Amino acid sequence: MPVSRRFFIASPPLLAMSAVGESVRLPKPVRCAVLGTVGHNSLLYDVLPRVEGLAITAVAEASPARLDRARKSPHHARASFYSDWRQMLRREELDMVMVGNDNGARAEALLACAARGLHCFAEKPVALNLEDLDRVNEAFSDHGGKPRLGCMLKMRTEPWALAIRDMVRSGALGQVIHVDSQKSYKYANQDDWKKSRASFGGTIQWIGIDMVDLMMWVTGQRFTPAGAHQAQIGMDAELGSMENTAAALFRMEGGGTATVRLDYLRSPKAPTHGDDRLRVAGTKGIAEWSDATGLRLQTAASAPAEIKDLPSEKSVALEFLKSTFLGAAPFVSQQEIIAATRATLEAAALARRS
Amino acid sequence: MPVSRRFFIASPPLLAMSAVGESVRLPKPVRCAVLGTVGHNSLLYDVLPRVEGLAITAVAEASPARLDRARKSPHHARASFYSDWRQMLRREELDMVMVGNDNGARAEALLACAARGLHCFAEKPVALNLEDLDRVNEAFSDHGGKPRLGCMLKMRTEPWALAIRDMVRSGALGQVIHVDSQKSYKYANQDDWKKSRASFGGTIQWIGIDMVDLMMWVTGQRFTPAGAHQAQIGMDAELGSMENTAAALFRMEGGGTATVRLDYLRSPKAPTHGDDRLRVAGTKGIAEWSDATGLRLQTAASAPAEIKDLPSEKSVALEFLKSTFLGAAPFVSQQEIIAATRATLEAAALARRS
């Protein structure tokens, strides 16, 4: 075991290797369009002041009310505005596109961008069916002449997630054979596009993918769905077709067990919007995160104890820019995006049959 | 909503209705045999001083070493001893039997006891396949002339479990649509009989049933398995065929989602042997137990807060005696025993196919 318990408990600088407040200078001016404003677009806006060379030059949004809001945003001060994203792609000279439209419209937009050679930083999921996923996978590449695909899989950037990933890689947990995660959200102020299956897809595809990707990334293992169930119960009028309870069970590549649990039942009075949890158990230790307990580690040699020194938060948008324009290795690789989306779509298909 | 938050948080006596230290006087002398000494037989021994009229009059144990230990136990001071339980049943005059043998031998012993009209307080699971389960179900009954079947499903007796059950029944959680539970154990001092599939069955059958029964009892809903996976990884020599990672996913009767997660990965240094957890989420609130956080409740009107006033612990053995000999309603009904065993056996069958 190369990494002792002391490594995790006592030494702040060792894990704090990522870059809070990191600034990036792009080698050439990059013109970025915003295609849809309902995604987690703030992931990019939040780092804009720290990126030299990136400009939002166009915004497309079909909803008049949202387009009006977009016109007033200081992030779009230098942008042209369109109600039709196809018109935007025809008229604008662009280098990349942030695809923040609804889930049902995403794959088509990504394919259109790829056909124009535009790199895409996309909301998840990148497709709502396996055929579209295959097309998206074919259209982009981490290597060679095709445009690059990024994805707003932001759970990976959490300090606790980075710490657990480090623990797994160091061998501190032994062979990981049991993983569980949870996303429990408040049901409040949900956008209308989430209430229709055509534009939303489903809860497993929307929030499940965050945890499926995180569990695969942290463990370094692919997952195969072995069961799933979802339902929408007791809140019909408000929820539309959006499921408020869901779970999926996976067989891990190494033979272990993984589960993800999703609900929209969190108290509106709770201190945070989401109650995210991750528990990663191996033959030599268990690491676990929740809001209520913080990050806790137990090993064969040590009782459960809180780990307080965590790595700095990363930015999934900044990492996309670094890999696309500065030659850095992808923080979220295309292969990983496709694998997480595929596992999630397959789990959702099982849930529809259950 | 008939029950306010104040009910749970402020008033100790209201929930403390069960009987710690309760004494029971049986209406006639009851002669009890012990058939096998590897179960959680202490559940009965612990209450023996508080039961008037109950005597352990015979003990059968095939293992010479365990029979020798049994001879020295003060609980067996008035007992005859047998290495063959069939011989014991032939020779002894009995009223009930505590069936604490290995899992693989249980159904046959139960059926032999039932054929002699003997009430049985049994370790779980009561059978390792559905055919035997049907036979056991047919042989006993909560009503009428057949002997009564009890089961060591002791999770229900935990103060936090009783409290969560009360919350659900009071309507404080609304309609329950999402349930999750965990059992994470230390792997230490496991008996040899657990290392063979024939005598053990599997981890889902052995520890999963505790949580499956608890989730069904707390919610008042039956579960149908929708997926399961189990494996034994990284500890081969020690574990025999015993799985150290397992999970199962269920569709709840009302359409909701339930999961159970099982592992033998807990640190030997942890303060307790097991890290039991239960999370019950409904349309109006979420109740949750873990060692690390205690019992917590959040509702539509209240942020997550710890509930400290819990009911007193019950005794599953005492409840069996009360229902069998004093006419009380069963605390663990035969229908519930059969339903939990069936769901667990079906989940284990899914896991074998995954």
Side-chain-side CA neighbours of A281 within 13 Å: the count stands at 28
Interchain proximity B182–A182, CB inside 8 Å:
no
Query: Is A167:A287 a contact under the CB 8 Å cutoff?
Result: yes
Condensed to tens digits (0 to 9), the pLDDT of residues A232-286 reads: 998 766 777 889 999 999 999 999 999 999 999 999 999 999 999 999 999 999 9
Nearest by CB to residue A227, choosing from B227, B234, B283, is B227
> CA–CA separation, B123 vs B116, rounded Å?
19
* B5, B173, B178, B221, best to mutate vs chain A, most A CBs in 10 Å: B178
> Across the interface, which of A226, A233, A270 has its CB nearest the CB of B255?
A233
Predicted confidence (pLDDT) per residue in B43-75, tens digit = 999 999 999 999 999 999 999 999 999 999 999
Q: How confident is the model at residue B238 (pLDDT cuts 50, 70, 90)?
A: confident
* Nearest of A224, A332, A304, A254 to residue B275 by alpha carbon: A304
Q: How far is B214 from chain A (nearest CA, A)?
A: 19
Token pair in block for residue B337? 């025993």
pLDDT at position B16 over 50? no
CA A31 to CA A37: how far, in whole Å? 17
At B234, the pLDDT band (50, 70, 90 cuts) reads: confident
Q: Which residue of B has its CA nearest to A305?
A: B270
Higher pLDDT, A206 or B353: A206
- The ipTM assigned to this model is 0.91
Give the gap in angstroms from C-alpha B332 to the nearest C-alpha of chain A: 28
DSSP string, B22-37: --EEEEEEEEEEEE-S
Cβ of A267 and B350 within 8 Å?
A: no
Token pair of A259 as six digits: 């589960």
Q: Taking CB atoms and an 8 Å limit, are B177 and A300 in contact across chains?
A: no
Nearest of A196, A32, A21, A227 to residue A102 by alpha carbon: A196
Instruction: State the burial class of residue B131 (Cβ atoms within 10 Å of its Cβ: 0-12, 13-18, 19+).
Output: exposed
Shortest CA distance from A258: residue in chain B? B247
Asked if the bond preceding B125 is cis, omega within 30° of 0, the reply is yes
Q: What is the reported pLDDT for A187? A: 86
To test the contact with chain B by mutation, choose from A244, A245, A290 the residue with the greatest count of B C-beta atoms within 10 A, namely A245
3-state secondary structure of B295: strand
Nearest CB neighbour to B298, from listed A270, A281, A301 = A270
* Contact (CB<8Å) B234/A259: no
* DSSP collapsed to 3 states, chain A: CCCCHHHHHHCHHHHCCCCCCCCEEEEEEEEEEEECCCCCCHHHHCCHHHEEEEEEEEEECCCHHHHHHHHHCHHHCCCEEECCHHHHHHHCCCCEEEECCCHHHHHHHHHHHHHCCCEEEECCCCCCCHHHHHHHHHHCCCCCCCCCEEECCHHHHCHHHHHHHHHHHHCCCCCEEEEEEEEEEECCCCCHHHHCHHHHCCHHHHHHHHHHHHHHHHHCCCEEEEEEEEECCCCHHHHCCCCCEEEEEEEECCCCEEEEEEEEEECCCCCCCECCEEEEEECCEEEEEECCCEEEEEECCEEEEECCCCCCCCCHHHHHHHHHHCCCCCCCCHHHHHHHHHHHHHHHHHHHHC
In 3D space, the residue among B94, B48, B35, B37 whose CA is nearest the CA of residue B70 turns out to be B37
For B255: left if phi > 0, alpha if psi spans -120 to 50, otherwise beta; the answer is: left
Q: A19-151 — its CATH code?
A: 3.40.50.720
* pLDDT in the model for residue A21: 78
- What number of other Cβ atoms are within 10 A of residue B242's Cβ? 20
B262–chain A nearest CA distance, Å: 9
Compute the distance between CA of residue B79 and CA of residue B99 in angstroms, rounded to an integer. 16
- Coil, strand or helix at B78: coil
Q: Taking 90 as the threshold, does the pLDDT of residue B12 lie above it?
A: no
Q: Do A267 and B303 touch (CB under 8 A)?
A: yes
Distance of residue A214 Cα from the nearest chain B Cα, in angstroms: 19
One-letter amino acid identity for B289? W
Chain A nearest-CA residue for B184: A281
- B205: distance to nearest CA of chain A, Å? 17
* Residue B104 φ then ψ, to 5°: -70, -30
Selected for mutation to probe chain B from A8, A9, A176, A177 (highest B CB count within 10 Å) is A177
Q: Judging by beta carbons within 10 Å of its beta carbon (0-12, 13-18, 19+), is residue A67 exposed, middle or buried?
A: middle
Look at A177 and B267 and tell me if their CB atoms are within 8 Å: no
Contacts of B175 in chain A (CB under 8 A): 233-234
A contact test, residue of B173, B257, B280, B291 with most A CBs within 10 A: B257
What per-residue confidence (pLDDT) applies to B239?
Answer: 77
Which CATH code for domain B5-14+155-315+330-353? 3.30.360.10
Per-residue pLDDT at B208 exceeds 80: yes
pLDDT at A4: 39
**Contact across the interface for A286 and B299, Cβ inside 8 Å:** no
User: Which amino acid is it at B343?
Assistant: A
Determine the residue of chain A that is closest to B252 in CA distance.
A229
CA atoms within 13 A on the CB side of B71: 10
Give A-chain residues touching B247 at CB under 8 angstroms. Answer: 178, 180, 249, 257-259
- Using CB atoms, pick whichever of B228, B267, B300 lies closest to residue A299: B267
Domain ranges of chain A: 5-14+155-313+330-353, 19-151
* CATH number at B23-151: 3.40.50.720
B236 pLDDT band (50/70/90 cuts)?
A: low
* Number of neighbours of residue B47 by Cβ within 10 angstroms: 21
Question: Region B211-216: what's the mean pLDDT?
Answer: 98
pLDDT above 50: residue B6 = no
Residues B324 and B327: their CA atoms lie apart, in Å, by 6
Q: Decide if B227 and A230 are in contact by the 8 Å CB cutoff.
A: no
According to the model, what pLDDT value does residue A20 have? 54
pLDDT tens, residue order, chain A (354 aa): 333 333 343 333 333 334 457 899 999 999 999 999 999 999 999 999 999 999 999 999 999 999 999 999 999 999 999 999 999 999 999 999 999 999 999 999 999 999 999 999 999 999 999 999 999 999 999 998 899 999 999 999 999 999 999 999 999 999 999 999 999 999 877 788 998 999 999 999 999 999 999 999 999 999 999 999 999 998 766 777 889 999 999 999 999 999 999 999 999 999 999 999 999 999 999 999 998 899 999 999 999 999 999 999 999 999 999 999 999 999 999 999 999 999 999 999 999 988
Measured between CB atoms, which of A233, A271, A286 is closest to B177? A233
Q: What is the mean pLDDT of chain B?
A: 93
Both structure tokens of B202: 């599997």
Best residue of B9, B168, B173, B177 to probe chain A, by most A CBs closer than 10 Å: B177
Q: What is the pLDDT of residues A269-278, one digit of tens each?
A: 999 999 999 9
Distance between A296 CA and the closest CA of chain B, angstroms: 10
- DSSP state at residue B149: E
Which candidate from B230, B247, B302 shows the least CB-CB separation from A269?
B302
For residue A272, list chain B residues with Cβ-Cβ distance below 8 A: none
What's the CA gap between B193 and B206, in Å, rounded? 12
Nearest CA in chain A to B301: A269
Predicted local distance difference test score (pLDDT) of residue B13: 35
Cis peptide preceding B13, ω within 30 of 0: no
B168 CA to chain A: closest CA distance, Å? 15
C-alpha to C-alpha distance for A293 and A53, rounded to whole angstroms? 41
How high is the pLDDT of residue A235? 73
CATH topology of domain A5-14+155-313+330-353: Dihydrodipicolinate Reductase; domain 2 (3.30.360)
Q: Same CATH topology for B5-14+155-315+330-353 and B23-151?
A: no
The DSSP H or E segment spanning B270 is: none
| Cα–Cα distance, A285 to A295 (Å, whole number) | 13
